[in-house]
Copies of this chain bind each other. A is one copy, B any other.
Amino acid sequence: MSLETARSLVADDLAAVEKKMHKAVSNVYTPLSDVLGNLIFSGGKRVRPMLTLLAGRFYPPDEHEKLISLAAAIEALHTSTLVHDDVIDGALLRRGQSTLNALWTPSSTIMAGDFFFARAARLVAETHHPRVIQMFARALEVIVDGELRQAFSARDWSQPKESYYERIYGKTAALFELATCTPAALGNAPHDHEEALRRFGYHLGMAFQIIDDILDFTADEKTLGKPAGSDLRAGIITLPVYFYIQQPERRRRIVDMIESHPTGDPIVAEVVQLIRESDAIEQAHNEARAFVDKALTDLEMLPDIQEREALAIVARYVVERSF
């Protein structure tokens, strides 16, 4: 099965999700609906709603529409955190486009993020399922906690690997596990199957973020849609950096380079080059592969329907992608 075949299994549902998100944005105060619309329709890959829709096929809910609302809620929450993250990171480019942050004032950007938060809340409330809503609220706490941890751990060069894992759990894996376990809860799946889907989402999300963090070193600005090494520039220590600085002389070298030129782009580009050419990239890749292997194992206990194969395809794609 190809990735496109996997996606085509839920193509109609994905179209319904797009439509629902469009509707959620269109009832807003007029001068803004275009801007907010562009933001949510600016070319995300819709990986998360795709996971929700595929995971929802094992134990379909009483009303199919609730699954659509759930998938739309997850994408709206994702959009909301992207918007706020752009202010937090001071990012000027995302997906090759100017971020809202670069075009708007911080306050408008906060409001736009809050707007998608509010939409996510309404969409998830449409499931009328208290446990699903509780899972959603809990994930939101983990996500915000991750943002706080990231902000407070910047430039801490001696942090353990666990700090990185805690942070990317909040940054990415919490939403991935939400995307895969809430449809199971909505469909009243047996507990062990819900748990398998949750773990699948968690492991996949961890791998996804590690690959993202590798690409921040190995891909070029054009492919990334933003400058390489942007996390490093903000002092955020991702897995390739972590592995690189495990050798004391390397650590001294790059800490010196960065701390003595805290905002210097040429210096960051030089450090990016050092890390890109080191074994740290392969070490990080191995960890991503290990997470994907766990994700594939998680799927084994689930009913053998074609959507299970589709989820496996998505998981394999995550470690193989180069953008």
Q: A: which residues have CB within 8 A of B? A: 28-29, 31-32, 84, 87-90, 106-108, 110-111, 113-115, 117-119, 121-122, 124-126, 128-130, 133-134, 136-138, 140-141, 143-145, 147-149, 151-152
Residue on B with the closest CB to A141? Answer: B118
Chain B hits for A138, CB < 8 A: 122
| Partner of A118 from B31, B122, B144, B152 at Cβ < 8 Å | B144
Known: A87-B107, A106-B106. A118 touches B143 (CB 8 A): yes
Known: A111-B88, A148-B111. A134 touches B141 (CB 8 A): no
- The secondary structure that dominates the A interface is helix
Known: A121-B136, A136-B121. A111 touches B147 (CB 8 A): yes
- State in angstroms the CA–CA spacing of A136 and B147 once bound together: 24
Known: A128-B130, A144-B111. A31 touches B137 (CB 8 A): no
Are B141 and A122 within 8 A (Cβ)?
Answer: yes
Are A114 and B29 within 8 A (Cβ)?
Answer: no
| Partner of A113 from B110, B125, B128, B130 at Cβ < 8 Å | B110
- State in angstroms the CA–CA spacing of A106 and B86 once bound together: 12
| Partner of A152 from B32, B125, B129, B137 at Cβ < 8 Å | B32
14 contacting pairs across A/B (C-beta < 8 A): A28-B145, A28-B148, A29-B152, A84-B114, A90-B107, A106-B106, A111-B144, A113-B114, A114-B117, A115-B145, A115-B148, A118-B144, A125-B134, A125-B136
- State in angstroms the CA–CA spacing of A188 and B42 once bound together: 43
- State in angstroms the CA–CA spacing of A10 and B140 once bound together: 31
Number of chain copies forming the complex = 2
| Partner of A115 from B31, B133, B144 at Cβ < 8 Å | B144
Known: A29-B149, A32-B148, A87-B106. A134 touches B111 (CB 8 A): no
Chain B hits for A121, CB < 8 A: 121, 136-137, 140-141
- State in angstroms the CA–CA spacing of A117 and B140 once bound together: 9
Residue on B with the closest CB to A120? Answer: B137
Write the nearest CB–CB distance from A40 to chain B, whole angstroms: 15
- State in angstroms the CA–CA spacing of A88 and B115 once bound together: 14
Are B152 and A114 within 8 A (Cβ)?
Answer: no
Interface centre among A87, A107, A130, A147 (most CB of B within 10 A): A107
Write the nearest CB–CB distance from A236 to chain B, whole angstroms: 13
Are B125 and A130 within 8 A (Cβ)?
Answer: yes
Write the nearest CB–CB distance from A87 to chain B, whole angstroms: 6
- State in angstroms the CA–CA spacing of A110 and B150 once bound together: 14
Residue on B with the closest CB to A124? Answer: B137
Chain B hits for A84, CB < 8 A: 110-111, 114
Are B110 and A88 within 8 A (Cβ)?
Answer: yes
Are B151 and A111 within 8 A (Cβ)?
Answer: yes
Chain B hits for A117, CB < 8 A: 114, 117, 140, 144
Write the nearest CB–CB distance from A26 to chain B, whole angstroms: 13
- State in angstroms the CA–CA spacing of A88 and B112 once bound together: 12
Residue on B with the closest CB to A73? Answer: B137
| Partner of A110 from B87, B128, B130, B137 at Cβ < 8 Å | B87
